[in-house]
Chain A
């Protein structure tokens, strides 16, 4: 069963933290989301490592 929509629910009025990452998106939004990979070869693993460790 799919999760309830979080993307649709995001709105600037719902911001909790002040750290703005991009228009209308902040750290708390990203902390609540899941990134799924269909296919997990070298490139996908590299992207996943970047997302976790890369900045």
Chain B
């Protein structure tokens, strides 16, 4: 999409940022002001409780039509940025997930934003090749973040557990991981391509009196479905 030379990064630890940036051909800066001055799109990726301090020296530079902000800080929405920057900055808040690294990510994207039409086009052009841009209203950003941003941990546990079962019955570890991971990827891709209800996708694999429905029954007995929902409850109430 873009080259590494089109990326600049600043963090509290210059050497770490420099090392990580160099790995993709990008440059690190010593100060946030250098990064903001050089950038058309400013991705704010500090911890939510560090935003005010991180932006303290660049508040005025961000109040411009020449650039826009993409915030990936959890729990910070447009209202938060408008309180900090006023109305003259252009802001889009999103919650990303880890598969964005390989172009298979999600950006839970706040419907409310202050991008111009052109900036919105640039945002889409930059990120839609590597992420599903799913727009939700502000009150739904947290649950969107739980389902898309936190659940990769759940899914990784599922892949690990499924692979453990494969190993238990003789598969090599690497083979078991590949089977479990690609199966998970494929089921997701099948849904995205067809929109088939997940229940119907499950039914399609379960022959009457067959082995798969026996496995599904055992998962239900063990509370698989309820455990997943409880996991999301814990995030929401945490």
Whether A associates with B in a native complex is yes
Residues of chain A touching chain B, judged by Cβ–Cβ distance below 8 Å, are 1-8, 10, 21-26, 29-31, 33-41, 43-55
Contact yes or no, A36 B43, CB < 8 A:
yes
Given A36-B39, A36-B41, A46-B100: 5 more A-B contacts, CB < 8 Å: A23-B124, A41-B46, A45-B20, A47-B43, A51-B126
Instruction: Look across to chain A and name the residue whose beta carbon is closest to the beta carbon of B90.
Output: A7
Within 36-54 of B, Cβ neighbours of A (below 8 Å) are at 36-47, 50, 54
Binding site for A on B (CB under 8 A): 1-4, 6-11, 16-17, 20-21, 24-26, 28, 32, 35-47, 50, 54-55, 58, 61, 64-68, 72, 96, 98, 100-105, 116-119, 121-122, 124-126, 128-131
Chain A residues, CB < 8 A from B105? 46, 50, 54
| Residues in B neighbouring A47, C-beta threshold 8 A | 43, 45, 72, 96, 100-101
**Total A-B Cβ pairs within 8 A:** 198
> Are A7 and B2 touching (Cβ within 8 A)?
no
Complex CA–CA separation, A48 to B8 (angstroms):
9
The answer to whether A38 touches B32 (Cβ under 8 A) is yes
For B40, the chain A residues whose CB sits under 8 A away are 3, 6-7, 33-35
Minimal Cβ-Cβ distance residue in A for B122: A25
In the assembled complex, the Cα of A6 lies from the Cα of B38 at a distance in Å of: 12
